[in-house]
Amino acid sequence: MLTALTIRNIVLIEALELSFGQGLGVLTGETGAGKSILLDALGLILGNRADSGLVRAGEDQASVTATFDFIFMPDLIRKALADAEIELETGEPLIIRRRVKADGGSKAFINDQPVGVALLRDIAPALVELHGQHDDRGLVNPRGHRALLDRYAGIDLASVERAWANWRAAESRLATAREAIEQARAEEDLLGAHLAELETLDAQPGEEEQLALARADMQKGEKLAVDLEDLRHLWDGSDSALAILRGAARRLDRIASEHELLAEALAALDRAVIEAGEAEEKLEAAADALQFDPAELDRIETRLFEMRALARKHGCQPDDLPARLAEMREALASIEGGEAELTKLEQAASEAGERYRKLAEKLHEQRVKAAIRLDKAVAAELAPLKLDAARFQTAVTLLPEERWGMQGMDAAEFLIATNPGADFAPLAKIASGGELSRFILALKVALAEQGGAATVIFDEIDRGVGGAVASAIGERLARLADSGQLLAVTHSPQVAARGRTHYMIAKSSEGTVTRTGVALLDAAGRQEEIARMLSGAEITAEARAQADRLLEGV
């Protein structure tokens, strides 16, 4: 709830600090005293547009700070703060500050952390619910009527939400399967042709690299063929260098024993023969490896180029062709077995849809019955509020299937008719602001809830009424405030007498300077202010006595 409000340099308010508590708080004062300024200041906290005209004349900037305390912070606020990475300790108050410059610029802060004004607007519905002469939010907005009706009826939507989610998931799986099969069918002939190509080629993993290496070796062999053939004469035949070297070694072997130098020469020659033999083996092995076969090279190149071309055609690497072949076989198999699987998915989606429909139809019946009860409850509140000629109706209508959702298959809206024979119309169509506020009061009393906001404000709900009607309004406001916080800006002494706390708004002038101030009244001050509201400018003893009777009566 709102526990404190500090205002600096807003229009006629120079400096103001107010504290608020639970229950009904009333704000009174003469016309033009500045009650609307307080609401405008609070509007800045709720994310309303920053108008430079709100800055007090002669000042550079104005500011408003509001403090809210919660026993349990509303989920809407908790989630919004978490998304904005603003952390609050358990039990820590929520402090919102808005600063407006005379040039029109503004800044917003939550617990001293700068935030966008959009965040203030996001959390406003959980902070303050304002009902006034130009109310366009809260209970007037039909977007929230279905949720209010469900809360009134005690409806738990969990089973419907689960059924909806299951149905949507089943329909999604079915749509995906249908799309896949339709696409496969459309491409079946092309798929078959591609599959035949891949099966004919029958590429193997790693084959492309092997073919490329073999091709490269053959191309080298073609280039080195002449050189290798020339080198072959060095060891082939009886007149080759190697044959001559071996013959020399044999002849030297016969005389090596005659002198040690001959023996050393033989050893060196033997090593040369061995090395030459190894060279001969290497050259023969190289010749075999680099053997050039034009027919084989043509075969290798043809297969290699076919493999690479097919890989480009399918947008993959040659080594991925076996996997692509497997995918295409699977795709063709899925076409053949797709009908059976599609039938299963259709059956599952149909059953999920039927489960949702049954639960949604039951929910519709609950809402219709609750609407009848709510209509009767609101009707009982209209006559005491001088709305006895008016009628209230909760319209529950079935939606077309494309608009069904997690909350069921129907919409709910609160409608009214203010005159006998008039057609029912949305709440927002009421011409009279006073009637609208009283309708909302009747609805809130019937709903017996606070609408989700921490603080509820009624701005001049008693405009144009008095006597018993004003007394009825005051009694209902006090009843609503029993379990929360409600503030009422009022001109009615009957409403003011119901307040647990009473604030008087007054305007004063010193020369050319005009200021608006707010004072928390004690018992004597309350008597005097209510007497003023009863008698006007001149407060009489009779007015004071009547004020006492009003205060004693509550």
Mean pLDDT, residues 313-331 taken together = 86
Q: Using one digit for the tens of pLDDT, what is the confidence trace for 136-163?
A: 456 777 888 998 899 889 899 999 999 9
pLDDT at 450: 46
pLDDT at 251: 84
Mean pLDDT, residues 398-413 taken together = 95
pLDDT at 223 over 80: no
Q: Report whether 494 contacts 473 (CB < 8 A).
A: yes
pLDDT at 373: 95
Mean pLDDT, residues 423-434 taken together = 74
Q: Using one digit for the tens of pLDDT, what is the confidence trace for 526-545?
A: 999 999 988 876 888 898 99
Q: What percent of the chain has pLDDT over 90?
A: 36
Extended beta strands in 366-500, E state: 391-398, 410-417, 425-426, 455-459, 485-489
Distance from chain centroid for Cα 123: 15
Mean pLDDT, residues 68-88 taken together = 89
Give the pLDDT band (50/70/90) at residue 290: low
pLDDT at 434: 67
Q: Report whether 20 contacts 4 (CB < 8 A).
A: yes
Q: Using one digit for the tens of pLDDT, what is the confidence trace for 466-494?
A: 788 889 999 999 988 888 899 999 989 99
**From CA 3, how far away is CA 1, in angstroms rounded?**
6
Six-digit token string for 527: 């008597």
pLDDT at 119: 95
Per-residue HEC secondary structure of 229-259 comes to HHHHCCCCCCCCHHHHHHHHHHHHHHHHHHC
pLDDT at 358: 97
Q: Report whether 159 contacts 361 (CB < 8 A).
A: no
Six-digit token string for 296: 């084989």
**From CA 359, how far away is CA 164, in angstroms rounded?**
10
**From CA 291, how far away is CA 448, in angstroms rounded?**
99
Q: By mean pLDDT, which of 168-177, 326-335, 412-421 is the weakest?
A: 326-335
DSSP H helices, 202-320, are 207-232, 241-255, 260-289, 294-313
Give the pLDDT band (50/70/90) at residue 221: low
Q: Look up residue 527 and give its amino acid.
A: Q
Instruction: State whether the Cα torsion 504-551-480-24 is positive or negative.
Output: positive
Q: Report whether 64 contacts 97 (CB < 8 A).
A: yes
Q: Report whether 7 contacts 15 (CB < 8 A).
A: yes
**From CA 217, how far away is CA 222, in angstroms rounded?**
9
DSSP 55: B
Q: What is the dihedral of CA 543, 546, 551, 554, to 10 degrees?
A: -150
Q: Report whether 439 contacts 392 (CB < 8 A).
A: yes
Closest CA to 139 of 523, 510, 457, 542: 457
Extended beta strands in 387-512, E state: 391-398, 410-417, 425-426, 455-459, 485-489, 501-510
pLDDT at 134 over 60: no
pLDDT at 222: 63
Q: Please, what's the largest Cα pairwise distance for the chain?
A: 162
pLDDT at 197: 86
Who has greater pLDDT, 412 or 30?
Answer: 412
Domain ranges of the chain: 188-333
State the pTM of this model.
0.64
Coil, strand or helix at 346: helix
pLDDT at 66 over 80: yes
pLDDT at 465 over 50: yes
Closest CA to 47 of 135, 95, 131, 108: 108
Q: What is the dihedral of CA 150, 152, 154, 158, to 10 degrees?
A: 20
pLDDT at 464: 75
Closest CA to 19 of 505, 503, 516, 515: 503
Coil, strand or helix at 534: helix
pLDDT at 379: 92
pLDDT at 298 over 80: yes
Q: Using one digit for the tens of pLDDT, what is the confidence trace for 228-278?
A: 666 666 666 667 777 777 788 888 888 878 788 888 888 888 888 888 878
Q: Report whether 10 contacts 37 (CB < 8 A).
A: yes
pLDDT at 18 over 50: yes
Instruction: Return left, alpha or beta for 2; rule: phi > 0 is left, psi -120 to 50 is alpha, else beta.
Output: beta
Query: What residues does 391 pair with on adjacent strands?
Result: 417
Six-digit token string for 235: 């060891």
Average pLDDT taken over every residue of the chain: 85
